[in-house]
Structure 1
Amino acid sequence: MSKYTDKLTKAEDTFTFDDFLIKPGLSSIEPKDVTLGTKVSTNYNLNIPVVSSAMDTVTESQMAVALARQGGLGVIHRNMTIEQEVQEVRKVKYANELTVKEVITISPDETVAQAQEIMDIEGVSGLPVVTDEDIVVGIISRRDIKPLRGKAADKKVSEAMTHNVVTISEDTDTETALDLAYENKVERLPVVSDDKKLVGIVTMKDILERKKYPNAVRDKNGRYIVAAACGPFDTDRAMALSDAGVDIIAIDSAHGHKTDIIKSAKEMNKNIESDLLLGNIATRKAAEDILKAEIDGIKVGIGPGSICTTRIVAGVGVPQLSAVSSVADVAEDYGVPVIADGGLRYSGDVAKALAVGANAVMVGSILAGTTESPGEMTIRNGRKYKQYRGMGSLGAMTGGVGAGKDRYFQTSGSNMNSTKLVPEGIEGVVPYKGPAEQIVFQLMGGLKSSMGYVGAKSIKEMHEKAELVHITPNGMSESHPHDITITNESPNYHPRS
């Protein structure tokens, strides 16, 4: 037999989501009993297994904040300058920070008129009053000033301020702070050190915001967890992101199983404090090789995304369910989490990815078109749409800083025009879907339902208990609604196109 014929006869069978269903089993678990906590990297856990794609029509700071509030993780795209990406990370880190450290204050010797002017300019309703040594001696608010009206504008702040200030220490928890604020009918609580020096301030608004999202994922300082993308050889960007406090850096490459990328990842790891994810890969051999770089997580997926054309343009890839399972077989022995990146359309696909060993899923098209995704809204035939494009699309390669070019190893001179690029993605629009929170709720609701059918109370149990059955195309056709015209759209189902 010819060696070329052997390539066909010995080729392994591989599968994707529509090729399997999860087998129901004996269960005492209800969806409400399920916990969805998971490891996304060596040092970070999530409360739900959802990560957003590092795409310029999916994730910037707004999406990262929205996901962190729900217990997931946003990966900020890199199709922008280093400074811009750092700024996006900082926006996430300082969003809903309980203790605001940069506090606008006033001296007791300044005038009421000056206090009023500062409040108007800064858009605040009160100011802590501190001495030259930063000792808190009072607080002055619009409520203190209002009775004085204009006639006492030259009065000193010390004469108008509230002297008995309710303060809290740095280790005061949210519940205690809220109780104190309610008890004393105050809107802000200065945070002071042991020697009564001002450290920051906590407002009622921030406390209530914190309570609104009990499932949010936060770092050791109480800030939202966030990730950001970086080119495989862009150590300067990685170091800047790490210095800005990003928790996880995701090396963003269409083909992570390359000797120079593995070598670069090892060097990058030495220069950053953040955890490091490496990808994308799709085979057992790739997992074995890249794990030598001592990375903290693996992204799996070569060409499964709805806007990716790699499998057609390059003829390369591995169907996603087989890719995830083969990588997970290796990564589990190293204790390194696996993220299934791409190819998911329904919540059932999330369940299948976890069933074959993924610790989390990375989604793009599912979150594209939400309120928090970047991009302008357009209206077509009376319906709202938002732009969605692959990072290998011509627009992504030529727009922003052209991150798509080096992601797909197509570096070029500044005068290289678009006809000299070979895109591996497309551009389009998706229907507007509303807030990301609603999408995540439906995704996780479907996953909990799946785990209830399996009898798995946790993702670890899902790994252990889930069994799959191989189905035919007819089996998948039977799985979808059929022999009916859908008149009312469901929030968690859309017909196959």
Structure 2
Amino acid sequence: MTYEIEIGRGKRGVRAYSLDDVAIAPNRRTRDPQDVSVTWQIDAYQFATPIIGAPMDSVMSPQTAIALGRLGGLGVLNLEGLWTRYEDPAPVLAEIAALEGDTTSGKHFNPAVTRRLQELYSAPIQPELITSRLAEIREAGVTVAGSLTPQRTQEHYRTVLAAGVDIFVIRGTTVSAEHVSKSQEPLNLKQFIYELDVPVIVGGAAGYTPALHLMRTGAAGVLVGFGGGATGTTRRALGIHAPLATAISDVAAARRDYLDESGGRYVHVIADGGLGTSGDVVKAIAMGADAVMLGSALARAEESPGQGWHWGMEAHHDTDPRGDRVRVGTVGPLEQVLFGPSHHTNGTSNLIGALRRSMATTGYSDLKEFQRVDVVISPYQAG
């Protein structure tokens, strides 16, 4: 059931809610946080936490992907990023961090920064670096995951599979099961996923129907949202926006209906974008997500390659950049960001501890149960 609102005489729209608009309502039962399970499994791969590191160069390097894997999460390497364009990306990362122009608020931008990002990312992708970076992660004994955009998947996926990737991620601003093009042969997701021997996570999707179509391609997981929440300017540049609370709920409904349609095939819903604090993580799972893909929340770790700065792939698009480099700062080592102890009161560290406490406070013992928690509409009031 949907309730449309009249915007004017010629247009109606559905009211949608962001994570800031909702809150969790405690129930009659509480638990000890130590009795709560936050484990998550997709296909044959089990993780101690539902945390996925976003494939963004300011968040995931081979080393941070390994570190996150050892801490019970899944790190996804951007296979179109600096690690596959430069043999040694350290000087490039240092230059990006040193570029003048503070975009801490997300409201200020510096065209010179954008222009330099475009120049640095114009270096060609080297297939041999895809192979060596993924081999480095595999040698560490953690689950190997890499990401390509739909536009680059046909070109590089054979290299990725030959390197031995465990989970393959196709991530774009908006990914559909049916892409129409008069100039090039589009990626046939259903055929592509059918021919692969590894689970595929694909997205973003922001509604019931597109998500259901992606599930029918055989995807193991669907990304909800457009990613790059802290850095993206898609709403300003393209007028496109999907409030995440409603989007997750809609895609979770598609998961439920596809489970019946397919005779029991469960597709994981992964919230992606705009999850900057532990409260956002908690509410995303409460709305129906199985796991969360984090960018800015992990970019604040001392080990993150962005050195306190954060940017996404949209920030260096060669013709239509839709993102900024933003200052997120650092709050501590990655382990402290995930498990504490926290010295911050704003939800930027001890993400898993906060998730456990929220689940315990509302009486739920695992993530699937927690998806049934009561929520209320409670728009956030600053100050």
TM-score, scaled to structure 2: 0.76
Of 340-349 and 357-366, more deviation after overlay is shown by: 340-349
Please give the alpha-carbon distance, in whole angstroms, between the structure 1 residues aligned to 2:370 and 2:133.
35
- Give the aligned partner of residue 253 of structure 1: 172
Please give the alpha-carbon distance, in whole angstroms, between the structure 2 residues aligned to 1:83 and 1:300.
31
Residues 227 and 387 of structure 1, relative CA distance in 2, 3 Å threshold: same
Q: Per-residue displacement from partner, 1:209-259 (whole Å, max 9, x unpaired)?
A: xxxxxxxxxxxxxx3112100131423422222222211111021110251
Determine if contact 1:305/1:342 at 8 Å carries over to the other structure: yes
Shift of 1:443: 0.3
Please give the alpha-carbon distance, in whole angstroms, between the structure 2 residues aligned to 1:434 and 1:34.
25
Please give the alpha-carbon distance, in whole angstroms, between the structure 1 residues aligned to 2:61 and 2:364.
34
Please give the alpha-carbon distance, in whole angstroms, between the structure 1 residues aligned to 2:57 and 2:227.
18
Shift of 1:28: 4.0
Determine if contact 1:238/1:272 at 8 Å carries over to the other structure: no
Give 3-state SS (helix, strand or coil) of 2:204's partner: strand
Match 1:393 to one of 315, 323, 336 = 315
Residues 231 and 346 of structure 1, relative CA distance in 2, 3 Å threshold: closer
Q: Per-residue displacement from partner, 1:419-472 (whole Å, max 9, x unpaired)?
A: xx22110113321333211111100000001001111000011012x1001113
Residues 352 and 11 of structure 1, relative CA distance in 2, 3 Å threshold: same
Residues 304 and 470 of structure 1, relative CA distance in 2, 3 Å threshold: farther
Please give the alpha-carbon distance, in whole angstroms, between the structure 1 residues aligned to 2:380 and 2:365.
31
Please give the alpha-carbon distance, in whole angstroms, between the structure 1 residues aligned to 2:325 and 2:177.
28
Please give the alpha-carbon distance, in whole angstroms, between the structure 2 residues aligned to 1:59 and 1:44.
20
- The letter of the residue matching 1:365 is S
- Give the aligned partner of residue 454 of structure 1: 362
- Give the aligned partner of residue 362 of structure 1: 293
- The letter of the residue matching 2:216 is K
Shift of 1:90: 1.1
Residues 342 and 349 of structure 1, relative CA distance in 2, 3 Å threshold: same
Aligned length in residues: 311
List aligned pairs for 1:346-495, cutoff 5 A.
346-375=277-306, 377=307, 386-394=308-316, 397=317, 421-441=319-339, 442-464=350-372, 466-474=373-381, 477=382
Please give the alpha-carbon distance, in whole angstroms, between the structure 2 residues aligned to 1:266 and 1:87.
29
Please give the alpha-carbon distance, in whole angstroms, between the structure 1 residues aligned to 2:159 and 2:190.
17
- Give the aligned partner of residue 116 of structure 2: none
- Give the aligned partner of residue 313 of structure 1: 237
Please give the alpha-carbon distance, in whole angstroms, between the structure 1 residues aligned to 2:9 and 2:207.
20
- The letter of the residue matching 1:301 is G
Q: Per-residue displacement from partner, 1:120-163 (whole Å, max 9, x unpaired)?
A: xxxxxxxxxxxxxxxxxxxxxxxxxxxxxxxxxxxxxxxxxxxx
Give 3-state SS (helix, strand or coil) of 1:251's partner: strand
Give 3-state SS (helix, strand or coil) of 1:51's partner: strand
Please give the alpha-carbon distance, in whole angstroms, between the structure 1 residues aligned to 2:296 and 2:10.
34
- The letter of the residue matching 1:455 is G
Q: Per-residue displacement from partner, 1:88-146 (whole Å, max 9, x unpaired)?
A: 21111111xxxxxxxxxxxxxxxxxxxxxxxxxxxxxxxxxxxxxxxxxxxxxxxxxxx
List aligned pairs for 1:223-238, cutoff 5 A.
223-233=141-151, 234-238=153-157
- The letter of the residue matching 1:227 is A
- The letter of the residue matching 1:264 is N
- The letter of the residue matching 2:326 is G
Residues 28 and 453 of structure 1, relative CA distance in 2, 3 Å threshold: closer
Shift of 1:83: 2.3
- The letter of the residue matching 2:49 is I
Give 3-state SS (helix, strand or coil) of 1:293's partner: coil
Flag structure 1 segments of 5+ consecutive residues without an equivalent.
96-222, 378-385, 398-404, 406-420, 483-497
Tell me, yes or no, if structure 1 residue 322 matches structure 2 residue 322.
Answer: no
Determine if contact 2:144/2:167 at 8 Å carries over to the other structure: yes
Shift of 1:295: 0.9
Please give the alpha-carbon distance, in whole angstroms, between the structure 2 residues aligned to 1:303 and 1:458.
26
Shift of 1:388: 1.4
Give 3-state SS (helix, strand or coil) of 1:351's partner: helix
Select the structure with the greater relative contact order (CA < 8 A; seq sep ≥ 6).
2
List aligned pairs for 1:66-465, cutoff 5 A.
66-78=67-79, 79=81, 80=84, 81=125, 82-95=127-140, 223-233=141-151, 234-257=153-176, 259-260=178-179, 263-302=187-226, 305-332=229-256, 333-334=258-259, 335-375=266-306, 377=307, 386-394=308-316, 397=317, 421-441=319-339, 442-464=350-372
- The letter of the residue matching 1:468 is V
Give 3-state SS (helix, strand or coil) of 1:392's partner: helix
Determine if contact 1:303/1:309 at 8 Å carries over to the other structure: no
- Give the aligned partner of residue 119 of structure 2: none
Shift of 1:272: 2.9
Shift of 1:266: 2.3
- The letter of the residue matching 2:280 is D
**RMSD after superposition:** 2.1
- Give the aligned partner of residue 46 of structure 2: 45
Q: Per-residue displacement from partner, 1:359-398 (whole Å, max 9, x unpaired)?
A: 00011001114233224x4xxxxxxxx331121113xx3x
Please give the alpha-carbon distance, in whole angstroms, between the structure 1 residues aligned to 2:38 and 2:305.
27
- The letter of the residue matching 1:389 is W
